[in-house]
Structure 1
Amino acid sequence: MRYPTLNPAILAEIARHPGATLAGSIYAVAEADRLATAEHLVHASLWIHADVIMDDLTHWGVDLSLVRTLSERGIGPLDVHVIAPELDGLISEICAQKVNRITFPFESCPDLDAVADIARRIRSSGAAAWLAVAPGTDFAEVRPCFETIDGLLVMLIEPGSTGAADPALAARAGQTGPGLPSGVDGGVDAANLGACLSAGASYVVSGRALLSSSSSAAAGSPGSASSTPTGRTPKGR
């Protein structure tokens, strides 16, 4: 494959914010190119963000076999973002791998105790436990979880949608307090990245906008972990 050229404007903006971490969403490239793209991201000292998505009983997004391959080969740092209506089985499968971070959706947890329990399971596997929050969720509902998680991922588009990012939602990244890191995901590009970082995000996920020359980007594949070409939306709480 021809390696994607990483968007220089995004790299430059990240460089202007010491302490900020950039991850490339490998779901934004064709399936056949994801392993090589992950290796390319690591060579560029970036994180790999891999969306593992399950709708009913069907796996899509980044395949679990690729997560296993990345883990076995020590390719990382790797953040696995689970997007599914039911988390138990997927969390167990991913916890069995050696990954750096597992991000799971608040909307798929029945209550706050479930959030805490999943976070404990993730940490017991050696990974950090991050919680993703969708745009339509009342942020006040999420605040009680801050003491039980390792970080918060603010979604700028609804999981399962392909709409434009709402940069105003990035303000949530600055509302976690000094002890809890936060990030943004969903339609992040060179135009809105600066606002996201200024709002307080220290972790940024970008897909198509970062991987600007990939063959799949030219074909119009999704640009972030939560944007899907199918229009299927995981069920929420």
Structure 2
Amino acid sequence: MTITLAPWHVGYEKHLAGSVYAAAPGLRTQAAEALVAAGIAVHVDVMAPGEGLPVGVTLDELDELAATVPHDMLGVHLVGSADGVRAMLPRIPDVGDLYVPLGTPGIGSARVWAAIWDEVDEASASMVDLTGYDGALLMLLEPGTSGVADPDRLSIATALARRIDVTLDGGVTEHLMPACLSTGASTAVVGRALLLDSPLPEGH
């Protein structure tokens, strides 16, 4: 199998990050290479162990990706409880962007984003304390799950984007992309709708 990018990405490159979690484990480095070649940032979901979450990208895979992807094009989302994420931080390589649960500090020189699920709604988005964060990663779908984005959450993105840089993540598709950008968000993380796998040509 080989990884290709859905044709609709053309014109959106600077507003996309491709989630390699959507690719099969053996194809994740290939997916990252395809994204980088297209000028699209690479997004990596790493799940805290022992918390009942699906198996995300492993730390060994992350090390391989960090050796392949330019530093400023690599972002890592640490999914789990604040304690679980803090325990993983010492194993995270130097990356451009680090997405952590709201209230969790970052490490190194990475731009740090507060990952937000149900901690914030439209009413509280103007008041939530984002001191120390470079941006907010607003989940449109519960972290660690798969499915369709909840477009009703885009109103939260609009409120947050008045204060801070916003990235949207979770179930984003080609058809939802214009609405995502209309909120003022700078970027959307896309996995299954962007990364396509197909059989290798004969002889490969």
Residue 179 of structure 1, CA deviation: 5.3
Structure 2 CA distance for partners of 1:62 and 1:143, relative to 1, 3 Å:
farther
Who is 1:202 aligned against? 186
Q: Which has the higher helix share?
A: 1
Who is 2:152 aligned against? 168
Task: Letter of the 1:184 partner, please give it.
Answer: L
Structure 1 range deviating more: 36-45 or 140-149: 140-149
What secondary structure is seen at the aligned counterpart in 2 of 1:38? Answer: helix
Give the gaps of 5 or more residues in structure 2.
Answer: 200-204
Is the Cα contact below 8 Å between 1:23 and 1:205 reproduced in 2?
A: yes
Correspondent of 1:153 among 137, 157, 172: 137
Who is 1:83 aligned against? 79
TM-score computed with the length of structure 2 as normaliser: 0.84
RMSD in angstroms over aligned alpha carbons?
Answer: 2.3
TM-score computed with the length of structure 1 as normaliser: 0.73
Is the Cα contact below 8 Å between 1:30 and 1:215 reproduced in 2?
A: no
Give the gaps of 5 or more residues in structure 1.
Answer: 107-114, 217-237
Counterparts of 1:205 and 1:198 in 2: how far apart (Å)?
15
Correspondent of 1:105 among 98, 101, 106: 101
Residue 186 of structure 1, CA deviation: 0.4
What secondary structure is seen at the aligned counterpart in 1 of 2:176? Answer: helix
Structure 2 CA distance for partners of 1:163 and 1:40, relative to 1, 3 Å:
closer
Counterparts of 1:142 and 1:132 in 2: how far apart (Å)?
16
Give matches, 1:118-133, under 5 Å.
118-119=104-105, 121-122=106-107, 125-133=108-116
Is 1:8 the counterpart of 2:4? The answer is: no
Structure 2 CA distance for partners of 1:72 and 1:163, relative to 1, 3 Å:
closer
Structure 1 range deviating more: 171-180 or 193-202: 171-180
Who is 1:138 aligned against? 120
Is 1:92 the counterpart of 2:86? The answer is: no
Counterparts of 1:56 and 1:190 in 2: how far apart (Å)?
34
- Partner deviation per Cα, 1:67-87 (whole Å, 9 max, x = no partner): 212223454511100001222
Who is 1:191 aligned against? 175
Q: Which has the higher strand share?
A: 2
Is the Cα contact below 8 Å between 2:41 and 2:74 reproduced in 1?
A: yes
Structure 2 CA distance for partners of 1:143 and 1:68, relative to 1, 3 Å:
farther
